[in-house]
A and B are shown apart, each in its own frame.
Chain A
Amino acid sequence: MSETSFSEPMANDSATISSRGVRLTSSVFVSLLLFDNRVGGRRIRKLLSDRVIRSLEEFYELSPADILSRIAEYSGEPPQALRAMAECILDPSLRTEAIRIAERSIERGIRAVNRTDPDYPRSLGQLEGMPLVLYYIGDLSILSQHSIPTVGVVGTRQPTSYGMKVAEEISSELSARGIGIVSGLARGIDTTAHQSCLRQNGKTIAVMAGGLDDVYPPENRDLFRQITGSGIVLSEMPPGQPAIRKYFPARNRILSGLSDVVAVIEAGEFSGTLHTASFAAAQGKDVFSVPAGIYSEHSRGNLQLLRDGAQILLSSEDILARLAGVVYYREIDELRERDETERIQKLLAQSPDKLTERELRLLILQEISLSPRSMDELNKRIPVSFLRLAEVLSSMEIEGRITVSGERYTLTFSGT
């Protein structure tokens, strides 16, 4: 290829729109590369991991000369593939398209977050094979570092009244306890789950299969608007992509990835919901399944899941018990990350009586996450009054956050 076949970088043109626009454009550009079979997701990840391209933004922002020189030095792919790749990355029509889509997105309030960004949803960041770019409308902080626990509530698009009732009850009860409800904005169970959560003024998270500019199914446009008001709607598809059937399983992996546990309310024998369940299992999350009669065609999938080792879901308490553990591990991690440890340790050394109950709980968790500790050992390390410690330990035990084995406290591993 000759240098002259390239126009000047399109980045100059996009300077007319804001810097946020540039970022969005670069994200859209990455999405377009993903769909172009000259590049595709596998090669992008490889280029990133081999440090040929150092961030997603670079695909759009690097000058053609830089791109060419970096690819020229690269030997990770056959020369032909590298040529096609360079051609694609520098394709001006792709860039024009990206700008067009970005402009439309901004009109509609759609934003993008890259996998390499600090505010990329925490739970997805820990998993493999999650989208490089996510488009969203709404409050991204729900999914960030100090996030709330989440439950994926999923099921068939043609639920029975039983399924609807269960979906409504479970979602309401969980949202009333401050737990986020994740679902797919589809007809049936998904819709009920989102609605019940909104009614409790809870935070609900919808993961869509197509672009966010085209709400599918159309009758959920109102619901979509409500969710974007207090919760968040996400998709890995750039605006303009219609929700087509083959995107559904990919959407389901994001749905389960965003959930701490997944509750399958009602699923037929070949339901797509079962995809969500198997993604959840593969991601190491607990799957709860609502039992039903053996003659119920609509719950065949649920019974199948139970046979395969899913947890039985009899009430929202089952899920709450499991979440308690999840939340606590998260809190410990956060504590370590925020380096609050030092402050609390200092407080412990100087005036242990000033520790709040939350700090006391975190100290206890920290102690017993290292190794099981007896009451006496804990009291020696956390020299608050015996009664105060006993009170906190008993409450934590009742809540199922810790348990006693061999007269020593350990963390609970309920469900594993």
Chain B
Amino acid sequence: MAQRKGKYAGLLTGFLLGTEAAFADLEVSILPGMPTFDLVGLCDSSVRESKERVRSAIRQSGFEFPTGRITVNISPGYLRKSGSSFDLPIAIGILRASGQIQQKSAQNIFSFGELSLTGEVRDVPGGLNYLFRSREIEEIIRIIPVPALREAEFLRCNAVGVKTLREAIRFLSGEPIDNHSFRKEGHPEGERDASIPLDFSLLRGQPKAGRAILLSAAGCHPLLLTGSPGSGKTMAVRVLLGLLPALNEKEHTEILRIQNSVRLLNDFDYMNMQRPFRTVPSTSSVADIRGTKSSRNIGELQLARHGILFLDEMAEFSPRVIESLRKPLEEREGESAADLRGDAGGFLLVGATNPCRCGNALEPGGKCRCSEREVKRYADRISGPILDRIDLYTELRRIHADALADAAFGKNAHDSERLREQVLETWNFQEARCAENGSRPILNGSNPTDQPFDFFRISPSAMETAVKGCERLGISARGMGHLLRVARTAADLERNRDVLASHILEALQFRRRQI
């Protein structure tokens, strides 16, 4: 470096592209001249704020902030970067370039972390992703914030946790430093309470909804619940959540990585193997749902991966937002976005809607004040293309006092445990059939409707019933596709190799009907 005209140092860090981390080469060059401090590489204002923190942290840690033209380049320069994770690598780079570190090993450095004005190193979102990516390079020194050691341990990769910038420099200079232990806060976020699964027995007074939920879980069938306010739609979805089999380790890692790209993780996240449950409010925008590529906005679609995407008040969504869901549900070629089992790690779509504007159309006693036309118009607000993707329809009604007594068992009952076992067995049964037919493992709900149902093994009598039923009840070809998929799951739940007429008849109960 001495041969050069100026001073130079380089190290590795990462930045987030959506939910994935990419490597970034961080270079620091110090040239003689008027003292300036520039940050280049398509950095947004959150990155440029680093300059002030780094300047202060270096001084407060007892180092010298070099004078001269300091340019920090984070490449590749054509990708947008944001966040505060560059603080620590910038500071290390500047101190190396200015010769304040006597580095012993020639190994590459990989680092991320935010600095306080006094030089303390703080954790940043995305650590899990950065470390996940860094595993691609062997022989690398990872210098990370102490709390991020939890992520390193989870990924089983070596890293050095540092509490302060000073400690980082001491380590790089070959001096001994303390072995830090980490402890994440085990406090679950408030929002999580609403996504705790409920027991199946709560649906005892509503057998139709109960069955629809079991079918939905067993075959990953998109589901629409129609019912008045207070009829238990959200409760039903929480029951459904409790029927989904626990995550495996790979899925868990993926979910943690997605979560970590927007927030810090806590111990609860690591212990909790529950699938995500994302309630999307009807005021959401397209960007809220799909995320934006340019900034660090992660959409609900991704946050719901491996779990449930719940669209409450589906009729209230703007058509554009609903439309934006179409494609992800459609992308079934190879990469299915709507399959909980597939490699892509899709989501299960569950919608809920009132039957009409006042919400009482299904309730007995003529409480509904909407005219027939209004009811129809309300139902029509849910766009057709999205309804085309929904396999199961069920209605919910407020349950009466005597049924409530039944439902009250829900608090102590454990119906869901048995059913969750059954759902898992059904998943395996479907996977085995796929394997038998040389197909990639998919659940029935994501079997493309435009592909023939070759290996569904629909018995001739069942097919006859299906054709006759569709003819008589005015069900379209696509509707018949849904019908066969649901019937296949009904058969799978019984571990039946063939779909029988009785399964078709059951599935017919859950078709879409005009109110």
Contacts and interface: CB of A to CB of B under 8 A. Distances in A.
Specify whether A and B are partners. Answer: yes
Interface in A340-365: none
Contact of B468 (A376, A387, A393, A398): A398
B477 interface: no
Contacts of B355: 407
Given A376-B205, A386-B208, A386-B211, A395 B362 contact: no
A391 interface: yes
Interface string A205-242: 00000000000000000000000000000000000000
Contacts of A375: 207-208, 509
B408 interface: no
A406 B508 contact: no
B505 A394 contact: yes
A390 interface: yes
Nearest to B363: A406
B207 A376 contact: yes
Interface SS of B by simple majority: helix
A378 to B, nearest CB: 10
A407 B505 contact: no
B473 interface: yes
Contact of A376 (B208, B473, B502): B208
A379 B465 CA distance: 23
Contacts of B208: 374-376, 379, 386
Contact of A391 (B211, B473, B505): B505
B453 to A, nearest CB: 19
Contacts of B331: none
A399 B465 CA distance: 11
Contact of A398 (B206, B473, B506): B473
A404 B515 CA distance: 8
A282 to B, nearest CB: 31
A406 B469 contact: no
A407 B506 contact: no
Interface string B390-416: 000001010000010000000000000
Nearest to A385: B207
B310 to A, nearest CB: 21
Interface SS of A by simple majority: helix
B469 A394 contact: yes
A377 to B, nearest CB: 8
B473 A387 contact: no
A398 B508 CA distance: 9
Contact of B506 (A390, A400, A406): A390
Contact of A394 (B207, B361, B509, B515): B509
Interface in B7-52: none
Contacts of B361: 406
Interface in B459-515: 465, 468-469, 472-473, 502, 504-506, 508-509, 513, 515
B265 to A, nearest CB: 42
A180 B101 CA distance: 105
Contacts of B209: 376
Chain B CB within 10 Å, residue with most, of A374, A379, A395, A406: A406
Contacts of A379: 207-208
A414 to B, nearest CB: 11
A375 B502 CA distance: 17
Interface in B93-148: none
A121 to B, nearest CB: 32
B483 to A, nearest CB: 11
B226 interface: yes
B108 to A, nearest CB: 63
A173 interface: no
Interface in B338-381: 355, 361-362
A204 B266 CA distance: 82
A62 to B, nearest CB: 58
A269 interface: no
A170 B502 CA distance: 31
A397 interface: yes
Nearest to A387: B506
A280 to B, nearest CB: 26
Given A387-B502, A398-B472, A398-B473, A406 B509 contact: no
Interface in B305-364: 355, 361-362
Contacts of A397: 469, 472-473, 508
A407 B353 CA distance: 14
Contacts of B505: 390-391, 394-395
A407 B469 contact: no
Contacts of A404: 513
B394 to A, nearest CB: 9
Nearest to A391: B505
The 7 closest A-B pairs by CB, nearest first: A394-B505, A394-B508, A407-B395, A375-B208, A391-B505, A390-B509, A386-B207
27 contacts: A375-B509, A376-B205, A376-B206, A379-B208, A380-B403, A386-B208, A386-B210, A387-B211, A387-B502, A387-B506, A390-B509, A393-B509, A394-B469, A394-B509, A397-B508, A398-B465, A398-B468, A398-B472, A398-B473, A398-B508, A400-B472, A406-B362, A406-B515, A407-B362, A407-B395, A407-B513, A407-B515
Interface of B: 205-211, 226, 355, 361-362, 395, 397, 403, 465, 468-469, 472-473, 502, 504-506, 508-509, 513, 515
